[in-house]
Structure 1
């Protein structure tokens, strides 16, 4: 299915239908590692309905356990054609581990993954110790204990990241090892086999 036709598919929900979140899609502007707008006229503020329901559960968890904090969605649906652009941009850089190979497909392209951070009651993003899309080991959740012991990350950074992970886990999302901001809904291979990829 092409992104231009997504509004006709009942399996997808627009981010505007989810209350209690902020939306700042970084690939719809220059604030990303490619440093240009990759979405253009495409409306990519969508998620599969299962992922959207998970975001609602995460919002409810934050409301109950960290009142005043909100999820800020940095990326949601990412059409396959944009995934190809990201993959090609990293050709020869040694950084392709941070981007799913289009030959297999990104879970973003099924509307079943999203990139998120947290903002406080004043709309300020919590300091996570590395930036969104920062392709360095500082971004790796699996290395957080080492980074804490060496001073690369602080206890505050880890508390912020853990709060985000707990909220997303309450929504049914799975974290990954090398990007604190990325969360998947359901098993990746199951999604690739059974869900609609948006081109």
Structure 2
């Protein structure tokens, strides 16, 4: 009986391993962690695992979980805790986290008409690697408990000045952003800064746990 139970146990875990996507296995092997195992209250909807993205197609195939380096996942959990302490009815909703370089090429090649310097505002050159490729960046928003995103003035992956944090004051004065939309962005930005993340100039949804230079010194790119 004990042998039968042990054999069943081994079979179950071997099947679990087979069911796990290869890209997830690679991320786990490199030490990345599933952010929902660090903080189960964080919501995840990987946009590049759907067709609801600027490419219009599923870029990630069977990758549906959000992975990050442990230090970055801990920072995200800290941001989540801060958000829920100050806004109990709100949650972080992750749109993208660690990204394989193979997917980075797909995103890069989806913008062939943009000049290279303009393209790099939105998609890092795969030859250099994005901070996403190191598992140290996250794209996200703030949502209600049931997953309804707050109005941030643009959708995720909007390419244009309306998404620029650096232009928000002008956009508000010009009536292109509302005060409520700006307040919602500030809720997100404040929580992420409290967690130890840094925002960037061109995308309200993107935050870095550390610089690309430091990431390259410590971690390997996920291929």
- Please indicate the TM-score interval, normalised by the length of the shorter structure: over 0.9
Structure 1 unmatched ranges of 5 or more:
none
1 CA distance for matches of 2:81 and 2:101?
31
The structure carrying a bigger helix percent of its residues is 2
Cα root mean square deviation, aligned: 1.5
Q: Which runs of 4+ in 1 moved over 4 A?
A: none
> What corresponds to 1:66 in structure 2?
87
Secondary structure at the counterpart of residue 56 of structure 2: coil
> What corresponds to 2:34 in structure 1?
14
Q: Is the 8 A contact 1:24 1:74 kept in 2?
A: yes
Cα separation, partners in 2 of 1:117 and 1:43, compared to 1, 3 Å: closer
1 CA distance for matches of 2:64 and 2:53?
17
Cα separation, partners in 2 of 1:66 and 1:43, compared to 1, 3 Å: closer
Secondary structure at the counterpart of residue 163 of structure 1: helix
2:78 equivalent to 1:57 = yes
> What corresponds to 1:192 in structure 2?
216
1:35-60 deviation digits (Å, cap 9, x = unpaired): 00011124552111011001110111
Task: Report how far residue 194 of structure 1 moved.
Answer: 2.2
> What corresponds to 1:171 in structure 2?
195
1 CA distance for matches of 2:65 and 2:110?
20
Structure 2 unmatched ranges of 5 or more:
1-21
2:48 equivalent to 1:27 = yes
1:135-185 deviation digits (Å, cap 9, x = unpaired): 011000000000000000010011000010000011100000000000000
2:55 equivalent to 1:37 = no
Secondary structure at the counterpart of residue 116 of structure 1: strand
With normalisation by structure 2, the TM-score equals: 0.84
2:178 equivalent to 1:158 = no
> What corresponds to 2:113 in structure 1?
92
> What corresponds to 2:102 in structure 1?
81
1 CA distance for matches of 2:148 and 2:65?
23
With normalisation by structure 1, the TM-score equals: 0.94
Q: Which has the larger radius of gyration?
A: 2
Task: Report how far residue 91 of structure 1 moved.
Answer: 1.4
Q: Is the 8 A contact 2:45 2:64 kept in 1?
A: no
Aligned length: 197
> What corresponds to 2:139 in structure 1?
115
Cα separation, partners in 2 of 1:81 and 1:44, compared to 1, 3 Å: farther
